[in-house]
Structure 1
Amino acid sequence: MTVRRDFKEPARTRPDLVIGREEMFNAARDQLAGGGSVLLHGPAGIGKSTVLRALSAEYGDSARTVLRCSATESESHLPFLALADLLGLVLDEVSERLPAAQRTALESALTGRGESSLQRDGLALRLAVLSALRALAADGPVLVVADDLQWLDPASAELLGFAARRLGDTQVQMIFAVRTEGQEYDRYLNASPPDTLAFRLSPLSRAQVSALLDDRGYTGLPRSTVREIHRTSGGNPLFALELGRALAENPTPPRPGEPLPVPTSLRALVLSRLDMLPAE
């Protein structure tokens, strides 16, 4: 059964790099310690990749095999790219342990030698990915870490989801992160192991934004400026840090009531999101 949890309140202690995410981090850590998988979701810049890296760093040492991929929008049209990132380095280790038809289909997809597609080799490819993960898990725990699931090429996403839903008690755990603007995470849960917990990252409070700015070296800002950074960023840590950096680089900080300087990188990011909205 897949379930979700939202966490907004800070905890009393925090691991490094997860300021304002302590309670959520601890719950995700407990989920992984119990053998389950984790799905992190939320809007751009909310800190999913930071939490994903912290979790994978903590649990990577306990796994015999760690498989990673981090997709980008510009490469999402390339079939099997994410699958190649995940399994390319272990192909030699598992290929001889696969049935001939599965081995041929997987090697063709990952190496580009010969034609391969979901339409042509669909069942063989699906079973090959499942068999490869089972073969790796037979030798010890496997951790699959995938960031920016929304940019996975469709072929890799289909194959990974097929395998994830059928792993059963196999020693394979997954940590996923995906960009969502609302509650549209169900389809990613459906492509995750059945024991996956979903965690939505919420905006930071003003105190958490202040702690984040201090942690990253943007210290000594007036309380009114920190309040304005929190208001302007909406509690988004990426936006808050970009605003803090712009202030640190500005020799003449804005006077009370003046708008904060918005760096070009942040302006471009926000404009790209606005461009996705209907004209009205």
Structure 2
Amino acid sequence: EQCHPSPCGLNTKCEIIGGVPTCSCLNGYVGNPLSGCRHECEHDGDCSSRDMCSNFKCVPACQQCGTGATCSTVNNHRAVCECPKGYIGSAYSECRPECYGDSDCPAGRPACFYGICKNTCDGACGVGADCNLRGLTPVCSCPRDMTGDPFVRCRPFTKADLCEPNPCGTNAICIPGHDNTGRERPVCNCLPGHTGNPLTHCSRGECLSNSECPDNKACINYQCVNPCIGKCGSGAECEPKAHLAVCKCPPGTSGDALVSCRQSRTYPVAKYHGVSSSGSCSVC
């Protein structure tokens, strides 16, 4: 009966505690329960600048942000919400990772790293290098007209690069040159005193000079060979002597032994008989 009629104000409740009527504000209301309670807020202006009025209560304005979003600032009781880098969606409803696996990513950024789709070529290669994806693996290479380490730097190609590293075989040297089409290419030669295939392997020759060969042989292409080969003319005889080819025509022949030897004449010169204009005959 002590609470009827109620000694409390509006929006309150009266309870008998310890035989004494006690007034308190209803849930969601504030104020003096003896004179009357009111809502904590009716509009945002009733709250601090960083709060907003929601269901008659002042709550942090950042509660406007969605799941996974960040509240960057509050302006006039309104939160400015943003999705974190690499997240997509609405910052006022839900932010989610761009991807959960590689299959969620587009062709231009095919790899999923910690929720973000990336092109694995980004930052993988050196300055001036080309990058192509093989699956998800970046493959670095220098452009056709450049050379260098594609993981560090590519630079314009020079002639000296034709021979660096040396593409030739063992005991061979490389010289920048041209092929039969005029294109620049490395030219391999065996080292002096060596013979063989300069593209694979060159071996030291048998000799460097005639003095290293027997008297009847000459040092040709670093090998001791018969100097007569291909030196004398047709029908001539050749005798190797002092590392040289001595050519001579054999007995019964004559001519230039370096060109050709032919049979010498062994028959008498023919005599011809003629008749003079006077009708007399003479021996010619």
Give the TM-score taking structure 1 as reference length: 0.20
Q: Which has the higher contact order (CA 8 A, sep 6+)?
A: 1
The structure that is helix-richer by fraction is 1
The structure that is strand-richer by fraction is 2
Give the TM-score taking structure 2 as reference length: 0.20
In our comparison, the structure showing a higher alpha carbon Rg is: 2
